[in-house]
Structure 1
């Protein structure tokens, strides 16, 4: 029996959809908002989700984004009263299976749902076709360094202490953060990511702490910051070594006092968020150069995990290739592809300066361009 979750803030709509789907023989669960919905998606297994867009606590687009980030295989159908072209395009970009406007046509709703169930089943079948099955996002490798990292992930997932993940670009720092967050037993709290390197210094403080209406020119309404959005869950500060001294000071104060304020407000809010940070920079050198606060560095690295470059654990590359082929073929809904031994050896010996991210990107090109078996010539051409 296929299992479906309805993520919808209006109880009457949830009840109506549930009656329709249960009559068709589906097992149905409900989530009254987007935050509960994503928590259920990452802690249980569903073939299909029917997800509204404009909901309290978490917008439907955020549900799509976080489901993808967590490696959820559930086929998500957006069902909304705001049937604009822009919403349809954005839903598709974020990985939605289909887009249905309220009130839905019953025959179309059931047809799209049945198609989504079949797609989910095919994707699972593809991954079960004679291969070792990996979970999307699983940290793969049997080298001593990878075994040590998995042990650190397990330890960190049992605690609430801040974690600092260091390592070169593309080594998988974001994946480690996800693993720590989602390995917490019965974790039903959000994981909010902030790419500190991608946000201008003058906007990052507002992005993190939020602001009140009128706090500065252009602040037309209140903004809830990422720290508040991660309430009770995890805030992942990617590339924290890039933040300005002013933001460092405010973040240090928040961690030290376990309180923070929105820009333009005097009301103190409780900091109830676990902080996981990552850095490509050598923060010890940054502290010595006066670019990063020593006290903040000490607070952030109560648990420290270092990821080595891929070239230092080359023996893991065949396992990574196997995993990435499975993941990418699932993403594209195609049968798993094979790889010639000579092509596997060739890829294992490449430098991979972009580390695991570069390896995955190369395999995505190969899967798109090659037939059922990836040959040595094709590996040389497209990798």
Structure 2
């Protein structure tokens, strides 16, 4: 890992020099600027890990420089420096996104602690963005066939709403990808996306898994458990293979959809939950209703917006697009040329 780069902005040359010496001794690469204009010239998102910025400078003051830096790079940690007793300025800087505030004369240990924290946060945010970009790339819905275009149009149209959606299709067709795309397109995208594979949970545990349980609710319940609906509060719950859910669990899910509340197993009160429900199944639920295996009222609650994902054999024109993607992905992960 290369040296972390810190930009020091102060119109006082002696302060710039002393901060630079402290940071360079600790292994940082240091850039210096005497005013706001020169500081903004150095402010390249990929170049800096943190900024130490004086509040009072001739011309463009520190608050204005802070605002402009944040416009260019919202994740850049900017540490403000000022004279003693400038509480109002500190509050204003914090509201405008400053990472922290240091008073002159600077304490060496405090300076190094704040810079280290800022640099670590910068590193974590960069890693988070890499992971998110990789996840979004992995979860992309690929294809140019009419069915895929129709699915993408539906996602764009209903994604921002809270409408419940039932995704149907065979195993391996990408129902989970559609659910994740709907979540990313929604107003809840910053909230949790909680997936529940109803087919993988034993019948006797499904209610506890979905709604949670209180300590002592049943043999083995040694502590309280927060269920998937509560975990998804403020976000989206994805009920995968909902057709495999027991009738007892279906009744509780229906009640939750109707009332917006859940009751933990062994609990004595209702708990409000704010979730968007997306369900998926590889079964014909109308057929399951006829057989008595699925509740008709729950079906109508879930099937507000239906999305069907056809198998690849029914959209062969997507094969070249998928093949190109997988070849490119393998090459990138293994450092191989195309």
The whole-number CA distance in structure 1 between the counterparts of 2:263 and 2:112 is 42
The whole-number CA distance in structure 2 between the counterparts of 1:231 and 1:222 is 17
CA contact (8 A) 2:188 2:236 kept: no
Following TM superposition, the consecutive aligned residue runs of length 4 or more in structure 1 with deviations greater than 4 angstroms are 2-5, 15-18
User: Could you say what secondary structure the match of 1:135 adopts?
Assistant: helix
User: Which residue in the other structure is 1:228 paired with?
Assistant: 230
User: Could you say what secondary structure the match of 2:199 adopts?
Assistant: coil
CA contact (8 A) 2:173 2:312 kept: yes
Determine if the alignment matches structure 1 residue 47 to structure 2 residue 141: no
The alignment covers a number of residue pairs equal to 235
Q: CA deviation at 1:269?
A: 0.8
The whole-number CA distance in structure 1 between the counterparts of 2:143 and 2:205 is 38
User: Could you say what secondary structure the match of 2:138 adopts?
Assistant: coil
Q: Structure 2 unaligned runs (5+)?
A: 1-45, 50-74, 76-99, 101-110
- Which of 112, 122, 135 is matched with 1:28 structurally? 122
Q: CA deviation at 1:3?
A: 8.4
The whole-number CA distance in structure 2 between the counterparts of 1:336 and 1:142 is 27
User: Which residue in the other structure is 2:142 paired with?
Assistant: 140
User: Could you say what secondary structure the match of 2:167 adopts?
Assistant: strand
Structure 1 residues 253, 322: closer, same or farther in 2, change over 3 A? same
The whole-number CA distance in structure 2 between the counterparts of 1:18 and 1:329 is 41
- Which of 302, 321, 324 is matched with 1:322 structurally? 324
TM-score normalised to structure 1 length: 0.56
Structure 1 residues 18, 337: closer, same or farther in 2, change over 3 A? farther
Determine if the alignment matches structure 1 residue 73 to structure 2 residue 152: no
Q: CA deviation at 1:283?
A: 0.6
Q: CA deviation at 1:324?
A: 2.3
User: Which residue in the other structure is 2:35 paired with?
Assistant: none
User: Which residue in the other structure is 1:159 paired with?
Assistant: 161
User: Could you say what secondary structure the match of 1:235 adopts?
Assistant: strand
Q: CA deviation at 1:277?
A: 0.6
Determine if the alignment matches structure 1 residue 214 to structure 2 residue 216: yes
RMSD of equivalent CA atoms: 3.0
How far does the alpha carbon of each residue in 1:244-289 deviate from its partner, in whole angstroms, 9 at most, with x for none? 1110111111111221111111111113110101100111111111
Q: Which has the larger radius of gyration?
A: 2
Structure 1 residues 2, 47: closer, same or farther in 2, change over 3 A? farther
How far does the alpha carbon of each residue in 1:107-141 deviate from its partner, in whole angstroms, 9 at most, with x for none? xxxxxxxxxxxxxxxxxxxxxxxxxxx93211111
TM-score normalised to structure 2 length: 0.63
- Which of 101, 110, 115 is matched with 1:19 structurally? 115
CA contact (8 A) 1:283 1:297 kept: yes
User: Could you say what secondary structure the match of 1:152 adopts?
Assistant: helix
